[in-house]
Amino acid sequence: MAKQTAPVEKNEFIDVTFSDLTHEGDGVAKLDGYPIFVPYGLPGEKANVKIIKVKKNFAFGKLIDVLEASEERVEPPCEVFYQCGGCQIQHMSYQLQLNMKQKQVQDVMRKIAHLPDVPVHPTIGMDNPWNYRNKAQIPVGKQNGKVVTGFYQKRSHQIIDLEQCPVQTDINDLIIREMKGIIEELGIEPYDEHHHKGEIRHIVVRSGHHTDDVQVVVVSRTKGLTKEKQLVEKIRAISPQIKSIIHNHNPKQTNVIQGRDSRTLFGDAEITDYVEDLSFSISSQSFYQVNPEQTEKLYQQALKFAELSGKETVIDAYCGIGSISLFLAKHAKKVYGVEVVPQAVDNAKDNAKRNHIDNAEFYVGEAEKVMPWWKSQGLNPDVIVVDPPRKGCDEDLLQAMIDMNPERIVYVSCNPSTLARDLKYLDEGGYEAKQIQPVDMFPQSNHVESVTEVVRKH
């Protein structure tokens, strides 16, 4: 049998028509069924592309010229969009972004879960899909003798110097801009990751959506900070909204942004924000959703699928600082939260006290180990809520949920592929996915969150 060869060669220029999008938002063109993946191509467009990599079953191309543009193509407002790795799909109309995310969930339900009939609703979007990120983690470096702050270029550690980011809040942008000037003025050396020298590695800024409180974290390789007193005075002078300045020490050669040790240089160790009427204290290292407006929509969806009447016992299997747990506790008889990070559990307990919620208890441990113990003690939940990291749930946890035999499971997911894999396991264990609601937590990027209603088969 003749060996099949690819219909294109490296460095060849060809005209193509895009028919689809990948889950990362790249355009897909096909030549005799052979797919070519091209960043920034949109369905329906004709374009000239350069083939840059050829594999047996597919190729990658570079967009050279759009010959016939889609009506869904828009001019990205960010001047460094095509260099920066922060956003991937600013060149799409917002409606196309929402459609792409819905289709992404539909595709994995068909291909991975083999459950094509589960309804996937249109993605819940934002009225204004800009300036939503309440947290900026910005690397600091030096280029041509000048201090630079910005995001890393795609697939590299080259910093793209940036004055303004259209998905960040205005206050975060202002503080990063001013901090760059302050570091330059005080002659503080930015970190050089190639030689593991220098001082300031990252600036992390967090702003409260409902409170306007701002926290600034200066992450350094060194244990102390050069001209610390002047640095703090100058940071405080940027804005009266700054309520907290933290120094974080990270001496390791690592991609992890913050180290273990933090000390408060000014104000409080935490700032406050609200999700609806619930107040949360947020420390420099605690997890808190970066899009507060959409978080409220996500939690409302989880509450809707939980169908609570006030009589239910609920388990929150990745409770973090207790944000979903406390949201549910107002409508349930009792909520038990479990989380592997001790500091997060301390925060969850504090947050319950702050909000005068006394029907929620929080425990440190791995959910897959704690839940079988709870079952042996006679705890029988009516509802289990699970909001795992991108890698999804371990099989042990899925089995522990099935063994507890709740009436319903609410699965909050940040990764459609692992969601589909886990829903397949639950389906084989006697639990049916009834409906999925995608929520756009990260406009202009290819990430999609969703909430799934799962019920026990009778």
Domain segments of the chain as ranges: 13-68, 100-127+291-456, 135-275
- Taking residue 62's Cβ as centre, other Cβ atoms within 10 Å add up to 13
Question: Which residue is associated with the tokens 């522990």?
Answer: 400
Q: Which CATH class is domain 13-68?
A: mainly beta
Give me the phi and psi of 67, to 5 degrees please. Answer: -85, -40
Query: Looking at the DSSP assignment, which residues form a beta bridge with residue 413?
Result: 450
**Which residues are known catalytic residues?**
414
- Which superfamily does CATH assign the domain made up of 100-127+291-456 to? Vaccinia Virus protein VP39 (3.40.50.150)
User: To which residue do tokens 């088969």 refer?
Assistant: 457
Q: CB pairs under 8 A, 24+ apart, for 99-102?
A: 99/123, 100/21, 100/25, 100/446, 101/438, 101/440, 101/448, 102/438
Contacting residues for 283 by C-beta, under 8 A, at least 6 apart: 269, 270, 343, 347
Q: In what order do the strands lie in the sheet with 383-386?
A: 360-364, 334-339, 313-316, 383-386, 408-413, 449-456, 431-439
Q: Taking CA 392 as the corner, what is the angle to CA 388 and CA 394, rounded to the nearest 5 degrees?
A: 100
Which stretches within 112-198 are classed as H helix?
A: 170-186
Token pair, residue 419, equals 């969601």
Residue 427: its H or E element: helix 416-428
Burial 418-432 (b: 16+ CB within 10 A, else e): bbbbbbbbbbeeebe
Token pair belonging to 264: 């408060």
pLDDT tens, the chain, 458 aa long: 445 688 999 999 999 999 999 999 999 999 999 999 999 999 999 999 999 999 999 999 999 999 999 999 999 999 999 988 789 999 999 999 999 999 999 999 999 999 999 999 999 999 999 999 999 999 999 999 999 999 888 778 889 898 899 999 999 999 999 999 999 999 999 999 899 999 999 999 999 999 999 999 999 999 999 999 999 999 999 999 999 999 999 999 999 999 999 999 999 999 999 999 999 988 888 888 899 999 999 999 999 999 999 999 999 999 999 999 999 999 999 999 999 989 889 989 999 999 999 999 999 999 999 999 999 999 999 999 999 999 999 999 999 999 999 999 999 999 999 999 999 999 999 999 999 999 999 999 999 999 999 999 98
At 343 the pLDDT is: 85
Residues in the chain: 458
Same fold, 100-127+291-456 and 135-275: no
End-to-end CA distance of the chain: 52
**CB contact at 8 A, 140 and 149:** yes
| Token digits of residue 336 | 């038990």
Fold category of 135-275 in CATH: OB fold (Dihydrolipoamide Acetyltransferase, E2P) (2.40.50)
Cα–Cα distance, 116 to 454 (Å, whole number): 15
Residue 270 Cα distances to 242, 258, 320, 377, 454, angstroms? 11, 16, 16, 36, 36
Closest CA to 217 of 175, 189, 238, 248: 248
Query: Token pair for residue 242?
Result: 């700054």
Q: What is the CA radius of gyration of the chain?
A: 24
